[in-house]
Structure 1
Amino acid sequence: MSEPDNPVHPRTLGSGSAAAASGEDGQDIAALAKGGRTNFFGFLLRLAARIPFLFIAGRLYGAEELGRFASALVVIELTALMCSMGEKRGLAQRLANSEARPANTVFDAILLATIFGTLAALFFWFVPAPMFPSGEYSLIDQMLVLAIPAYALTEIVLAAQAYRYDIATTVRARAIVEPWAISIGAGAFYFIAPEDGLSLAYILSIYAGLLTGLWPFLRTYGLPKAWTPQLRAMGKMTMRALPLATADAIEWGTRRIDIFILGLFAAPAAVGVYYVAQQVASLPQKLKTSFEPILGPVITKNLKTNNYGAIARQLCQVGFWILAAQAGIALALGIPGEAVMGLVGPNFVGGTAALAFLLMAEVVAATAVVSEAALVYMARVRNLWISIATIGFQAALTVGIMLAVEAYAWPEAYKAAGAGLALMIALGTASLVKAWLLGRLLGHRINNWRWALVYATAPAVAVGYAATFLPEWLELLIGIPAILATYGFVIWHRGFGPEDRVLFRKNIAGGEEAAEAS
């Protein structure tokens, strides 16, 4: 495979050009901050909705049923992501470079996703074994395949809205409608179809999210005009999208292949416990999505003008924001880990070690996340090979740990912890490699680390350790806010400079204030 169009060569901005670009760079930082701030509010809403779902799923359905459900979702969501043809990030570049009517460009992607999603759904309807490795499923469980085309279409319409800097639609769909629909649905369907409630609730949530995204999308773009599907052009589009689609699927798969492998080596109940730990740990991972929709348009705009210095500054800036927030949340959820897992049910406390490793994995992955945001446009094939190597390394490491646990007859809980450890090592390695590659391409170093993170972590750990001596309900009610408050106070005063605090300013639509902050 060859590299994509727009080959990139290292370039260092001169002082004059840097000064000329500073105002525009400040506007980009302001746009990133505004989009991230909007989606961070969505993260808080998603957190509020995720906890009821985990509580309902753990207490009503139990670890075994949750494990079967989790195994099916790995296949469903991975397939749907592939069917979206990488348009979650690739659509921004196609819209920026296309002279066609924007609605026509988006509907090309919608048609392809519909075709591939429908074919995939038909395949798994007749061959359901990959979704249910335990061999236990019902007719309604099979209907999960209906979510594949809807999930893929949702990715595309939300990416189209993000290109217009409309992040609020993503927040409504992903942070309000989908999580609350699955939480309410799981509770209601338990009394109607207790063995199939989770599957029905998931299908409901995916289609509710799609409708939430479609309405503003049609108002923004309208319907296509003078649009005729061109099979040859669509074939070229498919081939060009494959590296990006595969990279997206692999990046997503690194957070799911552990569940798949665990399902092969452990009982469904152990998979269910690990799934809950993963859902809790994925909360800080959602922070990257606070900036991901807006990073694409900003990066593609600067690539058109070869403004590599601005890209490096923006990625380092956003990378630190993500890293700082993820570290704080990881501390708040990890230190009282037993109480957090016990909230779902007493049978889930054994997943505390897995939760700790998964939370650390999200922290070390922050650099890879921001680096890949640019690599998918600048070196998509090399980025793809790094991603393939990462998931291969993770899979081999996970399998090795599973075999070791069985060989030494260690407790079943060690398998879940080992899967989290393998993910942490793999993502940390990927961060180092991708940051190094992007630094070479841009001619500027990519580094999100600041020593202020250590200064903020130390007192937060002390406060959290003291909170573990409280009763569990007080540990959650008082300990988590105390950890966040301590960490936040120190990181604000020791780690955040004027350019960082732009994230918390509301009136920064790209004016003078944004330029000054940059």
Structure 2
Amino acid sequence: MVLAGAAAWTHGREQMSADSSEMTKSSDDPGHAITQGAKANAAGLLLRLAARAAFLFMAARLFGPRAYGNFVLSVAVIELCVSVGSLGVKKTLFPLLDRAEVDGKRPLVHVVIDAAVMIGIASVALAAMISALGFLLAPPDVAVALALIAPMIACQALIDLAVAAVRWRGRVRYEIIGRSVLEPWILASCATGAVLAGLESSGLAIGYWCGTLSALAYACWGIAREFPKPLSRSYSFDYRGAKQLLAMAPGNSSNDLLNALYYRIDIYIVGIVLGPVPTGIYGLARQLTTPIRQVRQSFDSLLVPGIARIIDQCGVPQTTLALSSSIRQILALQLPMLVAALAIGQPLLQLLGPGFEAGYHVLIILCAAEILQSAMGLGDLVFVYRKPGLGLAITLVSVATSAVLAIFLMPRFGITGAALASFAAYCVRSVLRVAALRWQFRLTLPLASVAVPSVAAGLAIVPALLIASPLMALGAALLVYAIVLKAGLAATGQTLQLAGFDREYLSRLDSPT
């Protein structure tokens, strides 16, 4: 594992050192920069996939469904707290830095330090509260697991702040290497080392601490490098800037909180209703769907500020081309993962340990749900920058849908019922999102932008299900997908290139005519 991690690190460094992995604020071709940045992030995705596979195999084999279920439930609670403790800085830091740069009265890094102070205070308070509540309300083994990793709320929130700051500078390497190499590989390595040292009961928590702290240290080093002469002036806390951050925080933090709850409410309900062993099986299947979401996240580092700039300069209706081309490209990368899950999901789960094969149907349903949300969810960026309250209401309805359906379906269908509830909630959110974009912003995302990848995936499912050999089924299905996708794009005149971000497009939209 150490050798594999070293190889991944070397490859990541070489990939990130290329000029294409960076986008400066003055780029003449934002669409090209976003694509190149996504390619760099995709390299990080491959590294993260390898690390996740190593961690899941280690966790399943060494700890089993019960201990892994307690860890999954604890991490889900921690991540929910991070969405509050980070004060929404993943989105709100950008305008604050823009204003500080124009004003020129204060070093930019001081704006970041202000946010770090506020995040630290909020996160420490949350960690103390969640630890106390855990011992009062949760079963003893869950409470102990939660208390062991609760201090990492502050560190995870500060990682969000640090990577947002360097992303504002147009740098994605710190997020990729920190999140995709250091954090997962060190987590897996240290958790394994803890077991070998006889610390089985706290091995997963030790790994989580080590992985989080390494990613935080690297992200902070990125700030020191990318914000020159950070200590050129004496630092003093800016109460005016803090008020601006706090003014933007409630709407976006509430939206982040509901989104985090939306993504994890199934884990909470499974843990409460069915117990740790089903939670471990469900959580493992859910973890295997994470690469689908990470395809979308590989674009977010540069796509989010690009969309924000179009909205700010040209208005919401003019984001149609950028959103449509982005959705098509992301969907074209995600759908083969669903096809692969159909072909090899069952033997993969069996390989991870006894009992985990019961999560096969959960895996397929959640793969489809992740694709629906992460690709089509790009429209949420419009709500973030124009109507955060509307996005909040849509998310709240979706959370309620997931909770109600899970409670109704789980007694009959178990963990598969929880997965079906999540999928139904994602469908409800997608319908409400499309309706709101059309009604509130006159923004229509053409179905033609997703038709070709969807048809290709539909045809590829046939060999994935009919061929007995998993590897042959996988190869045949991916071949069918590639052939149909290429033919469909050629027949419709579409491409997988991003459009709508170039300077000429923006100039044309800004013109009076």
> Distance between the aligned counterparts of 2:342 and 2:99, measured in 1?
44
Query: Given the alignment, which residue of 72, 79, 82 partners 1:80?
Result: 82
Question: Are 2:335 and 2:454, in contact at CA under 8 Å, matched by a contact in 1?
Answer: no
- Deviation string, structure 1 residues 38-76 (Cα, Å, up to 9, x no partner): 212221211111111111111110000001111111111
Deviation at 1:266, TM superposition (A): 0.4
What is the identity, as a one-letter code, of the residue corresponding to 1:389?
Answer: V
Confirm whether residue 502 of structure 1 aligns to residue 513 of structure 2.
no
Corresponding position of 1:54: 56
What is the identity, as a one-letter code, of the residue corresponding to 1:489?
Answer: I
Supply the RMSD in Å over aligned alpha carbons. Answer: 2.8
> Distance between the aligned counterparts of 2:126 and 2:283, measured in 1?
24
Deviation at 1:82, TM superposition (A): 1.2
Deviation at 1:442, TM superposition (A): 4.1
Instruction: Please say which of residues 89-98 and 260-269 is displaced more in the overlay.
Output: 89-98
Confirm whether residue 64 of structure 1 aligns to residue 66 of structure 2.
yes
Corresponding position of 1:4: none
Summarize the Cα distance change of 1:308–1:488 in structure 2 as closer, same or farther, 3 Å threshold: same
Secondary structure at the aligned position of 2:487 is classed as helix
What is the identity, as a one-letter code, of the residue corresponding to 1:152?
Answer: A
Deviation at 1:204, TM superposition (A): 1.0
- Deviation string, structure 1 residues 78-112 (Cα, Å, up to 9, x no partner): 10121111111222232234435322222222111
Summarize the Cα distance change of 1:458–1:392 in structure 2 as closer, same or farther, 3 Å threshold: closer
- Deviation string, structure 1 residues 163-214 (Cα, Å, up to 9, x no partner): 2221222111111111111221222111120121111111111111111211
Query: Given the alignment, which residue of 185, 188, 194 partners 1:189?
Result: 194
> Distance between the aligned counterparts of 1:95 and 1:489, measured in 2?
46
Corresponding position of 1:243: 251
- Deviation string, structure 1 residues 104-124 (Cα, Å, up to 9, x no partner): 222222111111111112223
Secondary structure at the aligned position of 1:254 is classed as helix
Confirm whether residue 432 of structure 1 aligns to residue 440 of structure 2.
no
TM-score (norm 1): 0.84
Deviation at 1:512, TM superposition (A): 9.6
Summarize the Cα distance change of 1:514–1:172 in structure 2 as closer, same or farther, 3 Å threshold: farther
Deviation at 1:503, TM superposition (A): 6.1
Summarize the Cα distance change of 1:317–1:393 in structure 2 as closer, same or farther, 3 Å threshold: same
What is the identity, as a one-letter code, of the residue corresponding to 1:242?
Answer: P
Summarize the Cα distance change of 1:514–1:177 in structure 2 as closer, same or farther, 3 Å threshold: farther
Corresponding position of 1:278: 286
Summarize the Cα distance change of 1:440–1:328 in structure 2 as closer, same or farther, 3 Å threshold: same
Corresponding position of 1:178: 183
Question: Are 2:34 and 2:302, in contact at CA under 8 Å, matched by a contact in 1?
Answer: yes
Corresponding position of 2:204: 198
Corresponding position of 1:150: 155
Query: Given the alignment, which residue of 238, 244, 265 partners 2:273?
Result: 265
Question: Are 1:31 and 1:510, in contact at CA under 8 Å, matched by a contact in 2?
Answer: no
Corresponding position of 1:113: 119
Secondary structure at the aligned position of 1:444 is classed as coil
- Deviation string, structure 1 residues 227-280 (Cα, Å, up to 9, x no partner): 422446524522421111111122122221111111111021100000000000
Corresponding position of 1:418: 417
Summarize the Cα distance change of 1:276–1:514 in structure 2 as closer, same or farther, 3 Å threshold: farther
Corresponding position of 1:455: 455
Question: Are 1:37 and 1:503, in contact at CA under 8 Å, matched by a contact in 2?
Answer: no
Query: Given the alignment, which residue of 167, 172, 185 partners 2:172?
Result: 167
- Deviation string, structure 1 residues 21-53 (Cα, Å, up to 9, x no partner): xxx999232222122222122212111111111
What is the identity, as a one-letter code, of the residue corresponding to 1:105?
Answer: V
Secondary structure at the aligned position of 1:128 is classed as helix
> Distance between the aligned counterparts of 1:246 and 1:92, measured in 2?
18
Question: Are 1:121 and 1:146, in contact at CA under 8 Å, matched by a contact in 2?
Answer: yes
> Distance between the aligned counterparts of 2:463 and 2:381, measured in 1?
35
What is the identity, as a one-letter code, of the residue corresponding to 2:444?
Answer: R
Question: Are 1:390 and 1:427, in contact at CA under 8 Å, matched by a contact in 2?
Answer: yes
Summarize the Cα distance change of 1:451–1:135 in structure 2 as closer, same or farther, 3 Å threshold: same
What is the identity, as a one-letter code, of the residue corresponding to 2:183?
Answer: E
Question: Are 1:394 and 1:426, in contact at CA under 8 Å, matched by a contact in 2?
Answer: yes
What is the identity, as a one-letter code, of the residue corresponding to 2:67?
Answer: E
Instruction: Please say which of residues 35-44 and 376-385 is displaced more in the overlay.
Output: 35-44
Deviation at 1:447, TM superposition (A): 3.7
Question: Are 2:328 and 2:496, in contact at CA under 8 Å, matched by a contact in 1?
Answer: no
Instruction: Please say which of residues 437-446 and 147-156 is displaced more in the overlay.
Output: 437-446
Instruction: Please say which of residues 301-310 and 366-375 is displaced more in the overlay.
Output: 301-310
What is the identity, as a one-letter code, of the residue corresponding to 1:143?
Answer: L
Question: Are 2:331 and 2:371, in contact at CA under 8 Å, matched by a contact in 1?
Answer: yes
**Gaps (5+ residues) in structure 2?**
1-25, 508-513
**Gaps (5+ residues) in structure 1?**
1-23, 406-413
Question: Are 1:141 and 1:196, in contact at CA under 8 Å, matched by a contact in 2?
Answer: no
> Distance between the aligned counterparts of 1:440 and 1:251, measured in 2?
22
Deviation at 1:379, TM superposition (A): 0.7
Secondary structure at the aligned position of 1:389 is classed as helix
> Distance between the aligned counterparts of 2:322 and 2:498, measured in 1?
12
Deviation at 1:310, TM superposition (A): 4.1
Corresponding position of 1:216: 222
Deviation at 1:314, TM superposition (A): 1.0
- How many residue pairs get aligned? The number is 472
What is the identity, as a one-letter code, of the residue corresponding to 1:30?
Answer: H
Summarize the Cα distance change of 1:97–1:438 in structure 2 as closer, same or farther, 3 Å threshold: farther
Question: Are 1:292 and 1:373, in contact at CA under 8 Å, matched by a contact in 2?
Answer: no
Question: Are 2:187 and 2:211, in contact at CA under 8 Å, matched by a contact in 1?
Answer: yes
TM-score (norm 2): 0.85
Deviation at 1:289, TM superposition (A): 0.6
**Larger RCO (alpha carbons 8 Å, 6+ apart):** 1
Secondary structure at the aligned position of 1:336 is classed as helix
Question: Are 2:452 and 2:489, in contact at CA under 8 Å, matched by a contact in 1?
Answer: yes
- Deviation string, structure 1 residues 359-409 (Cα, Å, up to 9, x no partner): 11012213542011221011111111111121122111111223x42xxxx
Summarize the Cα distance change of 1:498–1:168 in structure 2 as closer, same or farther, 3 Å threshold: farther
Q: What are the within-5 Å matches in structure 2 for residues 346-425 of structure 1?
A: 346-402=354-410, 404-405=411-412, 414-425=413-424
> Distance between the aligned counterparts of 1:482 and 1:129, measured in 2?
51
- Deviation string, structure 1 residues 324-379 (Cα, Å, up to 9, x no partner): 22222111113332112112113101111111110110122135420112210111
Secondary structure at the aligned position of 2:291 is classed as helix
Question: Are 1:332 and 1:480, in contact at CA under 8 Å, matched by a contact in 2?
Answer: yes
Corresponding position of 2:474: 480
Question: Are 1:189 and 1:200, in contact at CA under 8 Å, matched by a contact in 2?
Answer: yes
**% identity of equivalent residues:** 23
